[in-house]
Structure 1
Amino acid sequence: MATATSVSTHILDTSLGRPAPGVPVELSVRPAGDADWVAHAASRTDPDGRCKDLPALPEGTTHVRLRFETKSRGPFFPEVTVVFAVEPGEHYHVPLLLTPFGYSVYRGS
């Protein structure tokens, strides 16, 4: 049996050195680079700044979009959107490191 493709994320407010709880996160998927995005899940970061409840991705997903509603963390970036390619059967942990005037993301483990 094939392993499902999955995504998890967390947010760290590096200006405070703490997790960012309560941030809404939307996960959308598409089966090819030019296909329309389809909403797949919505969540909110827990007290540790993590989204552990995102469901497995539909079979055939090739691209994922995470949209973080960060306006509660500061007015400069009201949202952060991250798009990345996925391969079947892999797990993708994509952390967001957030400051009032910058952010970075990476593929974690």
Structure 2
Amino acid sequence: MAETSKAEGGRLTTHVLDTAAGKPAAGLSIELYHLDGQARTHLKTVVTNDDGRCDAPLLAGAEFRTGEYELVFAAGDYLRRQGTKLPEPAFLDHVPIRFGMAEPMHYHVPLLLSPYGYSTYRGS
């Protein structure tokens, strides 16, 4: 079992950019999960604002714990609302990103999204 510890001062943020349209991905739903071995616990659902960001950190203060996490971005729903013609099933309907947070610091996990590709990195 993975050990998680309280980590005051850490925070988790994200930012989604629609690289096909050249704009922030506003209104995109994101699910946050905590991972512990094979267990996957849903922590929250958020929706990006007009800047493609969340209005508050996904985790911060007492909520922040080190450990393994997963963000699942509802890419297909977002792209369909933008009028993007997608095959059924869509190539990228849900985009999962799994990552670890080992220390109480700022973890920024951006997503650069298009209908047929995506990339991420540890931002600042």
The runs of 4+ residues in structure 1 deviating greater than 3 Å are: none
Verify: 1:86 aligned to 2:101, yes or no: yes
Gap regions ≥5 residues in structure 1: none
Verify: 1:51 aligned to 2:86, yes or no: no
Letter in 1 for 2:16: I
CA distance in 2, matches of 1:63, 1:12: 24
Match of 1:76 among 91, 109, 117: 91
Displacement of 1:35 in angstroms is: 4.6
Letter in 2 for 1:22: G
Name which of structure 1's ranges 67-76 and 44-53 shifts more when overlaid on structure 2. Answer: 67-76
**How does the TM-score come out when normalised to structure 1?**
0.85
Displacement of 1:58 in angstroms is: 4.5
RMSD of Structure 2 on Structure 1 (CA): 1.7
Equivalence for 1:104? 119
Letter in 1 for 2:108: H
Question: How many percent of aligned residue pairs carry the same amino acid?
Answer: 39
CA distance in 1, matches of 2:64, 2:18: 31
Match of 1:65 among 63, 70, 95: 70
1:41 aligned counterpart, secondary structure: strand
Letter in 1 for 2:20: S
Counterpart contact for 2:8–2:64, Cα < 8 Å = no
Equivalence for 1:4? 9
CA distance in 1, matches of 2:103, 2:43: 17
Count of aligned positions: 105
**How does the TM-score come out when normalised to structure 2?**
0.76
2:59 aligned counterpart, secondary structure: coil
Gap regions ≥5 residues in structure 2: 1-6, 80-85
